Amino acid sequence: MNVEFYSHLQQIVGTGQCQTEESMAAHTTFRVGGHAEYFVRPSVDQVQPVLALCQEYGISWSVIGNGSNLLVGDKGIRGLVMELGKMASQISVKGDCIRAEAGALLSQAAKCAASHSLSGMEFAAGIPGSIGGAVVMNAGAYGGEISQILRKIMVLTEDGQEKTLQAEELGLGYRKSCIPREHYIVLWAEFQLHPGSLSEIEGKMAKLKEQRTLKQPLEYPSAGSTFKRPEGYFAGKLIQDAGLRGCQIGGAQISEKHCGFLVNKDHATAMEIRQLIRHVQEEVQKKFGVWLETEVKFMGEF
């Protein structure tokens, strides 16, 4: 550990918001992963000085949100992990627009919208991700996606400059944006909604919650849908038709409830989950000629 670097890090964010050798299993919805060498929870205003400190000391860095679409290797992550979470989760409403900091949960933003009788964000109420992560991957569910409501975002560039980008500048597509390629850090996002009926908004959110509970294996840790939807197919149907329902490697299993989900059924390791992902890809490729791309992102050493 670089004691001088860590001391300066504590001065920026406070001693209670940074740790060394922090288990990433506590910060991912898969509940697996090794340790981060340095782990920090900055506010939006603290991201720039933390980034500058990393550059000064030559410390590599990465950013996570709620860890809901992430598989961290068992050997952990060298360098610093910034978690944009509770310390960067302010939400405000102005007219028909909602502005949410990157660490706010999508579910929180959707509930805030509903409380102001604003419609358009109902689809996001059950997605277990953060605003920043949702923008990066253009998250979506049940026919809705972030690109339909996103107005603009504020990012921090790799050299520490703040930059406002309109939605149309982000190259938003199916589970993708230009943000990872440009190495931007999302600080906040603004969404354009429209007035609606509170009872209708709440009714739609309740219906989607019921569908999610019935169809998804919420009783086990997972990262949501493991694979992207291949053009012309459904990933879960291909996996099921390949005879892989319930297939297990160690503690990792293809859900028996929904084949599009890989779950941590019994104290799985990250390597077991990664091996099962690869097995699924190879079997589906062999039987149907379709290569399944992952929605789940890999981080750290396996």
Q: Which of 175, 177, 255, 274 is catalytic?
A: 175
- Directed axis angle between helix 44-57 and helix 3-13, to 10°? 170
Q: What 3-state DSSP class applies to 197?
A: coil
Active site annotation includes 295: yes
Token couple for 70: 């992430």
Q: Which of 122, 225, 255, 272 is catalytic?
A: 225
Q: Is 289 left (phi over 0), alpha (psi -120 to 50) or beta?
A: left
Return d(Cα 228, Cα 277) in angstroms, integer: 12
Calculate the alpha carbon distances from 22 to 1, 111, 234 in Å. 13, 31, 37
Burial label for 15, CB within 10 Å (0-12, 13-18, 19+), is exposed
Q: Residues 37, 190, 272, 295: which is the catalytic one?
A: 295
Q: Is 92 considered catalytic here?
A: no
Helix (H, G, I), strand (E, B) or coil at 89: coil
Active site residue 99: no
Is 271 in contact with 277 (CB distance < 8 Å)? no
Report the catalytic residues: 175, 225, 295
